[in-house]
């Protein structure tokens, strides 16, 4: 199966977005940077093993760099907004209008960041051949699960 075939990606884009938006957080989370690092290192190692052409390997690894950078921006945006929400919620004088402004700001920034992550992942997936993707799909799914865990842990 190839990326343009919806069965190929293993996880549908709407499901990926829903999972990344998960609001419940765990309290025993490992440092997000370490979880991300491991997920992307595993993905890179699999790419080096699966993609034989050095030029294509370099291109795909570059796309994974973009994917990682964009996910880091998403994580940082969620962390910042959650911190702002905690401060706003702790302010007994906060008005309804302040909460509405916060929600609009959160939606705009985080939705944009999620879209960028999804586009980065799609570029990575689309750059693989059907055979390569079949070999990389499980590692990618594991990486996504780790990244969703990072977002949920915030």
Q: Is residue 13 part of a domain?
A: no
Domain of residue 113, residue span = 29-152
22 belongs to a structural domain: no
Q: Is residue 86 part of a domain?
A: yes
This model's pTM is above 0.95? no
* 92 in a structural domain: yes
Per the domain annotation, does 17 fall within a domain? no
- Examine residue 148 and state whether it is found in any structural domain, yes or no: yes
Q: How far, in Å, are 11, 52, 92, 133, 149 from residue 2 at the CA level?
A: 13, 18, 53, 7, 27
Instruction: Please identify which residue in the block is written with the tokens 């990926």.
Output: 16
Encode the chain (154 residues) as per-residue pLDDT tens digits: 555 554 454 555 554 555 455 544 445 546 877 888 999 999 999 999 999 999 999 999 999 999 999 999 999 999 999 999 999 999 999 999 999 999 999 989 999 999 999 999 999 999 999 999 999 999 999 999 999 988 888 8
Q: How many domains does the chain have?
A: 1
- Residue 119's CB is within 10 A of a number of other CB atoms, namely 14
In a domain, 53, yes or no: yes
Give me Rg for the CA atoms of the chain.
Answer: 17
Distances (CA, A) of 122 to 20, 25, 87: 15, 26, 35
- Given a contact cutoff of 8 angstroms between Cβ atoms, the answer to whether 71 and 144 are in contact is no
Any domain includes 7: no
């Amino acid at each position: 199966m190839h990326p343009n075939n919806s069965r190929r990606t293993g996880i549908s884009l709407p499901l990926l977005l829903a999972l990344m938006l998960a609001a419940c957080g765990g309290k025993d989370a490992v440092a997000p940077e370490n979880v991300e690092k491991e997920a992307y290192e595993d993905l890179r190692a699999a790419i080096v093993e699966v993609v034989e052409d050095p030029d294509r390997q370099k291109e795909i690894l570059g796309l994974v760099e973009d994917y990682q950078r964009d996910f880091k921006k998403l994580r940082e945006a969620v962390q910042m907004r959650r911190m702002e929400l905690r401060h706003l919620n702790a302010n007994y004088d906060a008005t309804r209008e302040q909460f509405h402004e916060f929600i609009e700001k959160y939606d705009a920034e985080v939705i944009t960041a999620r879209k960028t992550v999804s586009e980065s992942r799609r570029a990575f997936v689309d750059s693989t051949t059907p055979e390569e993707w079949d070999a990389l799909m499980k590692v990618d799914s594991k990486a996504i699960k780790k990244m969703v865990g990072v977002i949920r842990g915030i």
